[in-house]
Structure 1
Amino acid sequence: MKYGVVAFPSKKLQDLANSYRKRYDPHYALITPHMTLKGVFEANDNEIEELSKKIRKVTDQHNPFKLQTTSFSSFAPVTNAIYFKVVPTDDLVKLHEDLHKESLGSETEYAFVPHITIAQKMASGEHDDIYAQVRMIGVDHEEMIDRLHLLYQLEDGSWTVYETFRLNGAENQFDFS
């Protein structure tokens, strides 16, 4: 089965991302807007139980982190994807690195570029038009992320939560009284 580890942003940022995704992302109906921290990997039932324990150990060692989007960017010409650029803070980079240690499967296939995809799989002309428009708008958002989610892919291609992990200290970070 296919799995991945993500952070879901707030509803406010998800709504903004979805305002683009519903038009420009063919994966719109398959997964909620997210920032990938450990890309797709395969595991069987026994392996995922062990990996889940290891992920929990990683999240127990990390505090909530700041997710800050500053602008739109693109992976073109490699792929015609447009995304909210997330500032790669030291805490975020270290969390990503810890989720890719040898005991957790493997190193990442690509350099870590924290982002939230809003458009993908477009023709070059459409990509260039959309990217030119959104670059002028910009996106300025900041929030704290206090949990990660281990997702798995269903037979229809959609993704759902297998397990949620609170980052260490998450209970003490926010006072809502």
Structure 2
Amino acid sequence: MIKRSICIFPFFENIDKLELWREKYDPLYGKIAPHVTLVFPFESELSSKMIGSHVSNALKEIKPFELEFSGFSVENDSFLFIDVERGYDTIVQLHNRLYTGILKQFLRKDLPFKPHLTIGRFVSDHACEEAFQVVSEENLTFQTAVTEVVVEVIEEDESSTVECRIRL
């Protein structure tokens, strides 16, 4: 079984600040680049070719688009997010298209889909709230053009390996 997810790996000109926050607050810093998850992690025996073909077909009508993040939110008292301001509807559309066909069985109905980029993960709600206060003092916006979607393999140590890139 291979553990995978499908993501967008945005590039921001001002990524340094984001990476400073992630280094401080996100235990996955250094294992996976900043990303927007489109398909939550799933395990399967699907081949790379099958997954790549599905993603390519599901997204064939989607064109490159602008993505902008600003504002912060806390989820479940343990996750700190920077929220999607522009491109939200397109992200939701990508998510919905990908969870069809061979990936339909992996749809997580227990996790509501809210487009975001994770800045931190915490074991206590107090630590999460403190981090939220720190990052909320900044008035930063992160912008990028999305031109591809990535299928990643999640290794045993939780690091990410790009399996394939699908251009929009």
Contact 1:31 1:158 in 2 (8 A): yes
Aligned position for 1:173: none
Change (3 A) 1:111 1:13: farther
Q: How does 1:84-103 map to 2 (within 5 A)?
A: 84-87=82-85, 89-103=88-102
1:130 maps to which residue? 131
Radius of gyration: which is bigger?
Answer: 1
Greater Cα shift, 82-91 or 53-62: 82-91
**Count of residues in correspondence between the two structures:** 164
Does structure 1 conserve the Cα–Cα contact (< 8 Å) formed by 2:12 and 2:142?
no
Distance 1:157 1:10, change over 3 A: same
Distance 1:163 1:141, change over 3 A: same
For 1:18-167, list aligned pairs within 5 A: 18-44=19-45, 46-75=46-75, 78-87=76-85, 89-106=88-105, 107-109=107-109, 110-167=111-168
Residue in structure 2 matched with residue 3 of structure 1 by the alignment: 4
Question: Cα distance, 1:50 vs. partner?
Answer: 1.5
User: Runs in 1 of length 4+ with deviation above 6 angstroms?
Assistant: none
Give the deviation of 1:95 after TM superposition: 1.2
Counterpart CA distance in 2 for 1:102 and 1:74 is 32
Question: Matched residues in 2 for 1:85 and 1:143: separation?
Answer: 14
**What's the CA shift string for 1:13-62, capped at 9, x where partnerless?**
54332111111111112111111011101122x44431221111122221
**Distance in 1, Cα, partners of 2:84 & 2:16:** 16
Q: Which whole-Å CA distance do the structure 2 matches of 1:19 and 1:89 have between them?
A: 25
Structure 1 segments unaligned to the other structure (5+ residues): 168-177
> What's the TM-score once normalised by structure 1's chain length?
0.83
Q: 1:166 to 1:20 in 2, by over 3 A?
A: same
TM-score using structure 2 length: 0.87
Report the Cα distance in structure 2 between the residues aligned to 1:49 and 1:43, rounded to whole angstroms: 13
CA RMSD of superposed structures (Å): 1.8
Deviations, residues 120-173 of structure 1 (Å, cap 9, x unaligned): 024222211111222232332222101010000223321110000000xxxxxx
Q: CA deviation at 1:102?
A: 4.0
Identical-residue share of aligned pairs (%)? 25
1:79 Cα deviation (Å)? 4.0
Structure (1/2) with the larger strand percentage: 2
